[in-house]
Structure 1
Amino acid sequence: MKITDAKIYLNSPGRNYLTIEIHTDEGVIGLGDGTLNGRELAVYSYLKEHLFPSLIGRDPFDTEDIWNFFYRGAYWRRGPVTMTAIGAIDIALWDIKAKALGVPLYKLLGGSSREKVLVYCHASGRDTDHAMEEVAKKRELGYKAIRIQSGVPGMESIYGISKEKDSYEPAKKGELPEEESWNTSKYLNFVPSLFQRARDEFGYDLHFLHDCHHRLTPNEAAQLGKDLEPYKLFWLEDTVPGELQEGLRLIRQRTTTPLAIGEIFNTVYDCQTLITEQLIDYLRMTVSHSGGITPMMKIAAFAAIYHVKIGMHGPSDVSPIALSACLHVSRAINNLGILEYMGYSDKMSEAFPHEIHYKDGHLYTGNAPGLGVEFNKDFAEKHPYQKAYLPINRLEDGTMFHW
């Protein structure tokens, strides 16, 4: 079997997605997702101009060599654009292999470690009352683990809280970046009361999670973790910016609240210290942004040695192709913690028909060969790509801050 062609599609069935097809001389086509929210055009260019020309004529089963060709063979390595482009190709190649062999993808990754994958959903409210209403709705849908975010008194806007009634989409189409404002003191004074309310109303049978979105210092994060200890969070996520791995040491020393980080990581070198020093409990790297299935399986195995579990990023700003790759890896590895699941609109599901299905707090892969996802090009191409930007964030005095 040889690769004969590679194609890219940029569409916006509700939100922007970058989808690739890799074609073979035996008629098997693999799908990959190169979506990088707000930066799809950069990934598009890297794929088209630099990676695709070197794919033609190769054996799609040679995933290890092809991955290293694109990673080791380039002088300029790493970074979200490079690794997302490589990840899209790697996912598509694994899809080809599993389809050619007539098996679900997880069968090629060591088989099944579990029949179903525990997932967590999002419950976000404008204020505490609204957040509790959203938690109740998610519990009724059978979710066992729920991430709770809420608007903070005295702050006009905050990450994760939609101004609209539909699902949260931070990237604004056709606009320059929106600016938000942040006050750490107001946030730190509010969050413990949010989770006290959640435990008072829902008890301790549900798992609760929270995302700080990299906005704290290590000392602030340690204090928040300690304040949240009575409420037994499943994890406290992205407390500090991930560039300085050593920053997690202080937090780890001062709180027993489980820590998670990694959704913006792209290689194992972004989390090597975090893993070997056991500074985190859950690694949040996602398959498509970390170079694909080939490196993600190695990262998961490396993390397992140090008692670190995998809790992959699974937002709706990657398509069902990428989510399915995360789901198949999650089903196969032994050290899974949980998988994020935000769900998809009817429009998105029509563009990407898939076998992924949710039931009672878990996701299931289905038994179709490969990823179990199709790409409805005719429908997707009715929804053209529109340039979109993620917001930026400033402190109340105007200083640029983390978003």
Structure 2
Amino acid sequence: MRIAGADVIVTSPGRNFVTLEITTDDGLVGYGDATLNGRELAAASYLRDHVVPLLIGRDAHKIEDTWQYLYRGAYWRRGPVTMAAIAAVDVALWDIKAKAAGMPLYQLLGGASRTGIRAYGHASGRDLPELLDSVRARQAEGFRSIRVQSGVPGLETIYGISARGKDYEPAGRHPLPNEETWDTRAYLRHLPTVFEAVRNEFGPELPLLHDCHHRLTPIQAAKLGKALEPYDLFWLEDCTPAENQEALRLVREHTTTPLAIGEVFNTAFDYQTLIREQLIDYVRSAVTHTGGVTAMRKLFDYAGLYQVKTGIHGPTDISPVGMAAGLHLDLAIHNFGIQEFMPHSAETYEVFRRSYTFEDGYLHPGETPGIGVELDKKAAEKFEYEPAYLPVNRLRDGTLHDW
């Protein structure tokens, strides 16, 4: 079975997505996600101009060989654009292989290790009453685990906080990124009071998560993790920029709050120290940004050797194709932890027809052969690409800071 064609589709049903469609000489079609929020056209160009010409005529069943060909053969390795492009090819080929076998992908990965995939939803509020209402809304939708993000007094807009009645989408359709103002000391003072109030309202059993979004130094992260220990978080996410893997030693020494890291990582090399020294508890990479199913399975198996679990990145800038691929891994692997789940817009689901489901707090990829997502090209054509950028952060004195 040979690759006969490949097409890169950029569509914007509410937000921008980059999809690779691979067709074989016997008519099978597979889809992969290469969406890179705020840099979508870079990933699309890498695929269209440098990867697609290499695919035509290759054996569609040789997934590992194709992965290595694209990773090692380019000489210039790693990085978000390269790994998103490789991920798109990899997922599309796994989609094709599973369709050829007449099975959902998770069956080719060893079969189901659980009946459902525990998911967490996002609750946010500009103030405490709005946050508590948001937690209740997520519970009403069926979520049994909830990420909590709160506004900070004195800061007008910050990561994770949506306007009342609107879904949170940080990528703004503006010529330049929006600029937000950040105050670490105000955040560190305020956040423990937020979790105290949420615990008092909802009790000790509800798993609660929080995302620092890389904004703290190691000692600040250690201080926050210690302050949050009484509120028994499921995890504290991206507490400090983890490119400096050794920095997590300091955080780990000072707090028993579980740590989740890695949504901006692209390969297993980014995790080596973190996993080997058990400095984190959950790996947060997305299939879309970390080389696809092939690379993620190897990463998860390595993490499992050290009792580190998974928490695949699952925001709305991962398309339903990328989400579905992650769900098949979630169902199959042994060291699954939890899955982030932000439901996409109705427009997005019009373009990407999916078989995965969410019910009573659990996701399931479905039993459709392949990954279970098909792209409607006619629907996709209705939504033209629009430039959109994630915000940037500045301290009160104007210094550029991690957003």
- Using the size of structure 2 for normalisation, the TM-score is 0.99
Q: Deviations over 1:138-187 (max 9, x none)?
A: 11222111000011011111111123632111111142111000000000
Q: What is the root-mean-square deviation in Å for CA atoms of aligned residues?
A: 0.8
Alignment of 1:145-294 (within 5 A): 145-163=145-163, 165-294=165-294
Contact 1:19/1:35 (CA < 8 Å) preserved in 2? yes
Q: Is the 8 A contact 1:174 1:386 kept in 2?
A: no
Find the counterpart in structure 2 of residue 395 from structure 1. 395
- The equivalences for 1:101-180 within 5 A come to 101-163=101-163, 165-180=165-180
Q: Which amino acid aligns with 1:364?
A: H
Residue type of the partner of 1:291? G
Q: What letter is aligned with 1:124?
A: S
- Which residue identity is paired with 1:401? H
Find the counterpart in structure 1 of residue 346 from structure 2: 346
The Cα of 1:356 is off from its aligned counterpart by 1.0
What is the CA–CA distance in structure 1 between the aligned matches of 2:164 and 2:22, rounded to whole Å?
A: 38
* Whole-angstrom distance in 2 between the partners of 1:201 and 1:174: 39
* Aligned residue in 1 for 2:307: 307
The residue number in structure 1 matching 2:46 is 46
Q: What whole-Å deviation, never above 9, does each CA across 1:215-249 have from its counterpart, x for those lacking one?
A: 00111111110110010000000000121001100
For the Cα contact (< 8 Å) 1:9–1:18, is it kept in 2? Answer: yes
* SS class of match (1:5): strand
In structure 1, distance between residues paired with 2:7 and 2:289: 19
Cα offset for 1:384? 0.3
The 8 Å contact of residues 218 and 251 in structure 1, kept in 2 or not, is answered as yes
1:130 alignment partner, SS class: helix
Runs of 5+ in structure 1 lacking a partner?
Answer: none
The answer on 1:5 being equivalent to 2:5 is: yes
What secondary structure does 2:375 align onto? coil
**Distance (Å, rounded) in 2 between the aligned partners of 1:376 and 1:10:** 12
User: Corresponding residue for 1:93?
Assistant: 93
Distance (whole Å) between structure 1 residues aligned to residue 74 and residue 348 of structure 2: 34
Instruction: For 1:117 and 1:74, locate their aligned partners in 2 and report how far apart those are by CA, in whole Å.
Output: 36
Aligned twin of 1:363:
363
Distance in 2, matches of 1:163 and 1:396, equals 22
Separation of aligned partners in 2, 1:327 and 1:49: 30
Name the SS of the counterpart of 1:172 in structure 2: coil
Give secondary structure in 2 for the equivalent of 1:343.
coil
Distance 1:236 1:33, change over 3 A: same
Distance in 2 (CA, whole Å) between partners of 1:164 and 1:267 is 37
Whole-angstrom CA distance in 1 between matches of 2:239 and 2:26: 48
Q: Distance in 2 between matches of 1:41 and 1:395?
A: 30
- Name the SS for the 1:374 alignment partner: strand
Quick one: distance in 2 between partners of 1:127 and 1:156?
11
SS at match of 2:314: coil
Q: Which residue in 2 is equivalent to 1:336?
A: 336
SS in 1 for 2:122: strand
SS in 1 for 2:330: helix
Aligned to 1:298: 298
* 1:162–1:168 Cα contact (<8 Å) kept: yes
Cα distance in 2 between the residues matched to 1:78 and 1:103? 31
